[in-house]
Amino acid sequence: MIYQKLLSGKRPYHINNAEKINSFAKHRHPEIELNYCVSGTYPIIIDNALYTLNKGDLAIVGSMVAHEIPKNEDETCRTLVIEFGPVLLSGYFDMLAQATMQNPVLKVDEKNNKELYYIFKEIINLKETSADFADLIIKGNLYKICAYILYELENTNSAGQATSKIRLVANIEKALEHIYDNYASPITIEDVASLCGYSKSNFCKIFKSITGDTFHNVLNNYRVKMACELLDKTDYSVETISNEVGFADTKTLCRVFKTITGMTTGKYRKRK
């Protein structure tokens, strides 16, 4: 499973206006993700539940919720994907992240949620504009979208439960950031558990409950992801790559690499 780094910087959001979407592997990230079907149809799996998005459908993916797009054959499919998180929303992110819904898919067209429909239309038109004024308009529109979602969604958690879960997610984000920043160095569960303020056993349970995966699997997946980039972009030897991405030795890299990708490092490098 893929884990993405937290969005930050001048534009703490990401917008992808895809002409066609074939598939996207299962992944998680701290940000909230909006999938808006502009035309055609495509499937999306959110927290192990399959939904089919048609033109005008909006799928809302919560913070750290696993999601993927299976293989899609519709050549007419076009989608707008927007990701944003706490850097953009500040304290309001916690409120939105804890909102729950029976169905994460809303109809957004000229007949249903007309105001949202024109907001998404404007974002699509402004997406390719690099001017600062466009950035401000997009941010304003994202605030409007979030306000609408908060208004519509029913929060089933009590205040205490929500606060507790927010704290857990924030602590696990520390662990993920530690992986992103230190994957090339030795990393132990004990050290990361201490960083997050937990015992080893509690950390392992909480980490899996939030991410759906074990700490070692997440660490190995990220190291293999970095190894893939080096195999693609450099002529480094496998031994050098092993050292660069934090594996103890070449044998370990090769074993883990094949388990995760289904191919050897040599076959991966030659695939193109």
Structure tokens at 94: 């916690």
Where are the alpha helices (H) located in the chain, listed in sequence order? 86-89, 92-97, 114-126, 132-152, 159-182, 189-196, 200-211, 215-233, 238-244, 250-261, 265-270
Beta carbons of 79 and 35 less than 8 angstroms apart: yes
pLDDT for 5: 53
Q: Is the pTM of this model over 0.95?
A: no
Domain 218-270 has CATH 1.10.10.60: yes
pLDDT at residue 239, as a whole number: 95
Q: What integer pLDDT is reported at residue 147 of this predicted model?
A: 86
159-212 and 218-270 have identical folds:
yes
Question: What's the CATH architecture for 159-212?
Answer: Orthogonal Bundle (1.10)
Please determine, looking at this structure, whether the domain spanning 2-152 carries the CATH number 2.60.120.280.
yes
Residue ranges per structural domain of the chain: 2-152, 159-212, 218-270
Query: Across the 272 residues of the chain, what is the mean pLDDT of every consecutive 10-residue run?
Result: 54 82 82 92 90 93 87 88 88 72 82 88 86 88 87 52 53 86 94 89 85 90 94 94 95 95 92 73
